[in-house]
Chain A
Amino acid sequence: MKTRTIRAWSWTHKWSSLVSTLFLLMLCVTGLPLVFSHEIEEVLLEQNWAPANPDGPLLSLDEVLAAGLALHPGEVPAFMSFDEDRPVVNVTSVDPNGPPSAYSFEPIDQTSGAVAPPVAGHPVMEFLLQLHTDMFLGLPGMLFLGLMGLMLIVAVVSGAVLYAPFMRRLPFGTVRAAKAARTRWLDYHNLLGVVAAAWLLVVGATGVVNTLATPILAYWKNTALKELTVAYDAPAPTGERASLDAAVERAKQALPGKTLQFVAFPGTDYSTDHHYAVFFHGDTPLTTHLTTPALIDARTGALAAVAPTPWYVKALSLSQPLHFGDYGGLGLKILWALLDLATIVILGSGLYLWLVKGRRKPA
């Protein structure tokens, strides 16, 4: 490689890293416990809960919804999801006049209508998740972190290019532990960086895609789902909505053999202003991550469309497990944690190498 080429890559590596290092460190530190959120919440929220009437009949979804909304007068329904191993339906609602993401979340015992203890969403984990997702800054914060993710990708690629001139006389994996600290940390930085490259690129790229969730879903609604909404001028008012149970039953008929995952109510990110979007997922390892919604007209209860999601919504769906590392058991999570720790060392050593270089040889 020519000196000038090396210098250009070096400049790229230095600046993409410097701009993003502090934010990436924050993401690594908050991401580490988040990898194990399921396990941590099992401990933090461990409660011996049993449904009120284990053998009794289940309340209808309309009754569950009413029970959930009664706890938050003035709010409108946003989402409904279903616990897998207990007869609990989660009702998410939101104040139509408040901030759009200030959701209320109530797990409702479907055998009694009473509130069940939550199995997720411990305040500490929620705080870490929010910090990790948007630093409490909403969409601008999310997009900013997405930009930092892009910087990470640039830094990994430029780092891989620079690996060649640095390693041209060293066998793979060499760590000159007896040399000066700068040399030693350069070797650790190069080794960990090149070994973790694939993971860094996957977690970085899927993280960037996740930060684009809001625009991706908005684009989907404004294109593929647009024609379903042209018949209406005003959003479906909450008082004039068809039965939710009937809507879910209708959706099940439209997508037989799939598993009900959640319902998005009219006006939320995952639906139009006029439909219940009833989301189902498949049963193979891959298709459990891919959802298909049946859209039910919220006024009439009629099936409006089965809307297989376009490629960019599928990409968003697959980016979630690939970023969180929660798709391959505990072993995969442990590897996620080790690679997260390796990333902290890469970021820290990179920062250190820049600092000592600047001090030794002022530009």
Chain B
Amino acid sequence: MSRKDLTIWAIFGAPVVVFVLSLTGLIGALLGDGVWDAVFSALLASTVIVTVWALIRRRR
């Protein structure tokens, strides 16, 4: 491979976003009920959504 190394932000950008979203979901669902459960669960669902996206779009 002759491509240049990615920067630290290019490597960790997406993982950090998923980390923050899912951590917010995990803690937020504890603080709210009803509709908030759905909202914060959706944030945690970013883990599953990103995985499915990668398996479809980044498969080569």
Q: Which residues of A contact B (CB under 8 A)?
A: 160, 163-164, 167-178, 191-192, 194-199, 202, 285-286, 289, 318, 321-322, 327-329, 331-332, 335, 338-339, 342
Contact = CB atoms under 8 A, between A and B. Distances in A.
Contact of A286 (B12, B31, B45): B31
Q: Is chain B's interface secondary structure helix, strand, loop, or mixed overall?
A: helix
Contacts, number: 112
A335 B14 CA distance: 20
A250 B60 CA distance: 69
A195 B54 CA distance: 11
A164 B47 CA distance: 19
B32 to A, nearest CB: 6
A175 B54 contact: yes
Contact of A329 (B18, B37, B57): B37
A195 B50 CA distance: 8
Contacts of A339: 47-48
Q: Is chain A's interface secondary structure helix, strand, loop, or mixed overall?
A: helix
A286 B30 contact: yes
Nearest to A289: B30
5 contacts: A172-B13, A174-B58, A197-B15, A321-B30, A328-B37
Contacts of A332: 29, 37, 41, 44
A285 B47 contact: no
Contact of B47 (A175, A196, A286): A196
Contact of B41 (A160, A174, A198, A328): A328
A289 to B, nearest CB: 7
Contacts of A286: 30-31
B58 A175 contact: yes
Contacts of A160: 15
A192 B60 contact: no
Contacts of A168: 5-6, 11
A328 B18 contact: no
Given A332-B41, A335-B44, A177 B60 contact: yes
